[in-house]
Amino acid sequence: MIQFSLKCAGDHRFDSWFQSAEAFEKLRARSMVTCAVCGSDEVEKALMAPRVRSSRKDAPDGAPPQAEGGALSKPASPAEQAMAELRRKIEENSEYVGGNFAREARDMHDGVTPERAIYGEARPEEARKLVEEGVPVAPLPFIPGRKSN
């Protein structure tokens, strides 16, 4: 797929996606490319800046190419930044217990194991039972990261 900046005879400018440059030319020759504003079929490509990604080998330390505005993994909005900070604090200050979360939370509540900050995963019915039993739990606004090989 390729995106072209287009303009019509009325100097309206708009963008559109095409399967290829050849596909654009075929559609334009059949008057099937029309202005998004006025409907004119007198449409041509407008001057546009190319979007060229650097290759992985050009990136420092083999890092993936960056998107416009920074790294793909960098939170963009203030809400995303706050969520990333919350996640960092939870992961830094608590123990990940994985799928054993319900059992660990219940054991701490019952005094079987010492209290500590934990996070993990529980099926909805397990979480519901914990709440019904008075175990203080809360859902996380993110999915815990799993360790992978």
20-58 tens-digit pLDDT = 889 999 999 998 888 878 888 899 988 776 666 666 555
d(CA 67, CA 59): 12
Which of these, 30, 31, 26, lies nearest to 9 by C-alpha position? 31
Q: Which residues of 33-43 are buried (b: 16+ CB within 10 A; e: fewer)?
A: bbbeeeeeeeb
Residue 139 domain flag: no
Q: Given the DSSP bridges, would you call strands 2-8 and 13-18 parallel, antiparallel or unpaired?
A: antiparallel
Residue 71 domain flag: no
Which domain, by its residues, includes 104? 78-132
Whether this model's pTM surpasses 0.85: no
Residue 148 domain flag: no
All residues at 6 or more sequence positions from 141 whose CB lies less than 8 Å from its CB, including other chains = 83, 86
Segment 55-94, tens digit of pLDDT? 655 555 544 454 444 455 566 788 888 888 888 899 999 9
Total number of domains in the chain: 2
